Structure 1
């Protein structure tokens, strides 16, 4: 029996050494790093922040809110060729965006500017930024705090919806998305995300009771 156990220990040790030798340097680094780091890769501490946001519900709710925003209102507006001027159609869509955004004072939004593939990359980067700023300026004029719209990003011509080198109206656009929660907002600091969910989903889903008409006998 002692010989058998000794042989078993030797076999387990051998298997362990084989397993360790099969691990790559990257495997060992990921094992010794913070949880979630393999999903981030942007530096120590970021993965912990992402994990905290997931555990608290902040990240999941921000993603869900982005999807709801896009489902409820037009999150995209388009522009004329080589222009950052808002069309009447764009203003109508942004009016709806502003009305929706006002319901969520805890939430920040980001506007992404895009162009078509006509022109140089540098010029289109600047044009995409002008379009994003035009949207932020209009939303601000509709009562949305600039502090909630400060993150303006231009992708220029790098993310076309239609990959053609000719002028294309679908590519000349801005997209508004939820970017996170307002820093130091009381609701967010207290972790009361359920209050936001309740106000949105429960209250909006409720309808006035209906009374069936009863005919006289």
Structure 2
């Protein structure tokens, strides 16, 4: 029992240090991107301090952890198997943060008229939203469907180009009226991230007494 209590105390101490390190204040309400142990608490704290900063922080993290883009066949808004696999990964990430909203941007290549391509970009964004909704994501959290049509190509070419025929999913903000304090659902996210991120660093482990020990 004494060993268990000591280990628990050490874990709590590490958690406190991680939370302190998770947010680096460089101005009123600003914060650097939190990485690793204590991320969820850092994000929750930042959301209460500065929602815009928290949105940017989560957006950076979303783009780093999952593929935010899917591509389409020429003149099509149908999702292929590769796109559905990417969107399934997106949905798994989105479910972890039930208070966060997302926006889907639709794009096309430069073949065809601007008006037609704007409609096609919107159809592609709708296809993504429809798929995410089948994965348990509320449509109310997909804040808006935006079509840039052919106006923002990845590769500037008049020829058909798959990289331009795409949608991009991005963090857009927080659900209006969502509680920003910790609750049971969000605490489960924190616990999961602590377990995943609490790994030994550079071959070192934390012993029951809270001291660092080398691994053989």
TM range (shorter): 0.5 to 0.7
Unaligned runs of 5+ in 2: 1-45, 208-212
SS in 2 for 1:127: helix
Greater RCO (CA < 8 Å, at least 6 residues apart) = 2
From 88, 97, 102, give the equivalent of 1:95. 88
8 Å CA contact 1:56, 1:191 repeated in 2: no
What is the root-mean-square deviation in Å for CA atoms of aligned residues?
3.0
Q: Is the 8 A contact 2:143 2:172 kept in 1?
A: no
TM-score, normalised with respect to structure 1: 0.65
Of the candidates 120, 124, 133, which is equivalent to residue 127 of structure 1?
A: 120
Query: Over residues 133-168 of structure 1, what are the superposed CA-to-partner deviations in whole Å (9 max), with x where a residue is unaligned?
Result: 000000000000000013110000000000000000
Counterpart residue number, 1:207:
199
Post-superposition CA distance 1:25-62 (Å, at most 9, x none): xxxxxxxxxxxxxxxxxxxxxxxxxxxx9993111111
SS in 2 for 1:154: strand
Q: CA deviation at 1:205?
A: 2.2
In structure 1, what is the Cα distance between the partners aligned to 2:48 and 2:63? 25
1:104 corresponds to: 97
Equivalent position to 1:137, from 100, 119, 130: 130
Q: How does 1:9-158 map to 2 (within 5 A)?
A: 56-158=49-151
In 2 relative to 1, CA 202–210 (structure 1 residues): closer, same or farther, beyond 3 Å? Answer: closer
